[in-house]
Structure 1
């Protein structure tokens, strides 16, 4: 059994062919697709977070709205760039959205990815401390955020307002259980080990910031093994989850073939390139007849090792098309791949 979710980047642009021409379209259609995905039987609805770009940027109002319109499906992020966040304000927002959803948030966090703005987080009023890297700053903020949602005291009490009581105050509201539903977006085996040591779930996408010459799925499976070994060594008293992302487009209808048929002929291999000066490996897309895709996914070492698979969607094609795409995966691919 695997949990299946979709991952939307929430692109919007007023260009020919797009059914998502504005930020309003992107937000409202994401809510509608979460409702449709729940009806289809999907387990998760996840959104990507990007700043200074025509994409989804502020996840918590959106997650709260999705939570109010659905009743079962998990609601998550993949991922929130912690460089941009105030950890305590974020803890309040996250707890509120989680309470509205009835405890269904699954929050993916990370240091973030290459972006259109140069050090955009500095425009939000944040900067790494002396001697800190961006990764250090993101991890420090994540530590404070996690402590806050776990009920730690983070502010000194004012005895004049607390009847003389002193000590440290926790943020409000609190949402019990949220602390174990935090994921770290890991791009390497080393960060996967760190994620396990910190006691967070592992979220791995279609990009790894390292390359050893082996196929992407095998390298990602190594990352998952390293994570689980480190988790066991750390002695945590609960079982974590591991997700991977894949681009999966079964060609079922003529519309599918018009959109993705040609791409399927040229986009079936890993890609290797440089990202921020580092050699990186990008995973392939799975495009073709459903039985062929199912066979390929059944042989994908990382997909088999993970308990959750997030499917990236072409959100610009609108709710109806994406709902049909998700239905095709559930109806034709998942059973043949042995996922359900």
Structure 2
């Protein structure tokens, strides 16, 4: 089991990919440039968020298809794709296609549950079938079965000049082992382990048995591994917001610290009917952030991370933060950049 004395094995980052609605191309190009920068800096993975009816990436699979053609090594993931918006069969086709195009670098992260603002979007999303849709883990299980090459239909063969397969095409054999689940509860973490997925732990969890974020996240990791055939070797990636300031300007530091101050109140107690608990953002010199991470109960259990970039910063801020993570924070955690 990884311990704080062991080096960090894989270092990734997550971006939301915001854009100006008056000029969406610029924002998408910025995201692609950031992913390319991450590869040059030696990051192991780059992840994008999924945002519907917002000014963020609404089609991560399309964005990652573009990123796959501008990079050659860095792994590309979604953190996460909410399956309530997706048809599992069609999504499986898209994921397999992009995985083939990327040379086997895709790491799709998904989650279950109804779409946000369900009552307001169901008429547009499922105008005739809304009441019959199911948004539980079964939807994720269907996606897994299609990605892993299980039959999607009982028909295959030739009809006229058309040749049909009974499973999703193209089939990418390794993709099934690179499927991740974004779990915010004990039940979801255990389900992901039982279905041989990898686990994404985010900066938001449900306060079910505790109000201590670190110990909630730790309980999810242990529940996941307890149900996974690989046990302690099952892959877990921890997600937290970290903002190193080693090379930041005085103006950047002041802005970053104000960003964290404004978000800190939501970390002190569970929020809303779902009792969501948010992790503290970590800001400051890399040496200080590394010390805080080594003391973090959940970090001590993992050897992979995908640090989240703050949502509302500028392209230049992201360049500075990623550069500091790669050149200061990562090495302080024992990580070595990829060739």
Per the shorter chain, which TM-score range?
0.7 to 0.9
Point out where structure 1 has 5 or more consecutive residues left out of the alignment.
15-20
Aligned to 1:31: 32
Aligned to 1:17: none
Aligned to 2:212: 215
Point out where structure 2 has 5 or more consecutive residues left out of the alignment.
1-7
Alpha-carbon distance in structure 1 between the residues aligned to 2:166 and 2:109: 26
Tell me if the contact between 1:6 and 1:311 (Cα under 8 Å) persists in the aligned partners. yes
- Which among 330, 335, 339 is matched to residue 334 of structure 1? 330
Is residue 2:173 matched to residue 1:176? yes
- Which among 137, 147, 150 is matched to residue 149 of structure 1? 147
Is residue 2:12 matched to residue 1:5? yes
RMSD: 2.8
How many residues align structurally?
A: 325
Shift of 1:198: 1.3
Is residue 2:208 matched to residue 1:201? no
- Which among 216, 220, 225 is matched to residue 222 of structure 2? 225
- Comparing 69-78 with 214-223, which one deviates more in the overlay? 214-223
Tell me if the contact between 2:17 and 2:48 (Cα under 8 Å) persists in the aligned partners. yes
Tell me if the contact between 1:42 and 1:73 (Cα under 8 Å) persists in the aligned partners. yes
Shift of 1:129: 5.9
Tell me if the contact between 1:105 and 1:181 (Cα under 8 Å) persists in the aligned partners. yes
- Comparing 84-93 with 107-116, which one deviates more in the overlay? 107-116
Alpha-carbon distance in structure 1 between the residues aligned to 2:38 and 2:222: 30
Give TM-score, length-normalised by structure 2. Answer: 0.86
CA shift in 2, pair 1:149/1:268, >3 Å: same
SS in 2 for 1:226: helix
Is residue 2:278 matched to residue 1:278? no
Aligned to 1:304: 300
**TM-superposition CA deviations, 1:257-292 (whole Å, max 9, x none):** 1321334556567332334x2212110000122221
Shift of 1:39: 0.4
Report 1:19-58 matches (<5 A): 22-58=23-59
Give TM-score, length-normalised by structure 1. Answer: 0.86
CA shift in 2, pair 1:335/1:268, >3 Å: farther
CA shift in 2, pair 1:121/1:68, >3 Å: farther
Aligned to 1:98: 99
Tell me if the contact between 1:273 and 1:279 (Cα under 8 Å) persists in the aligned partners. yes
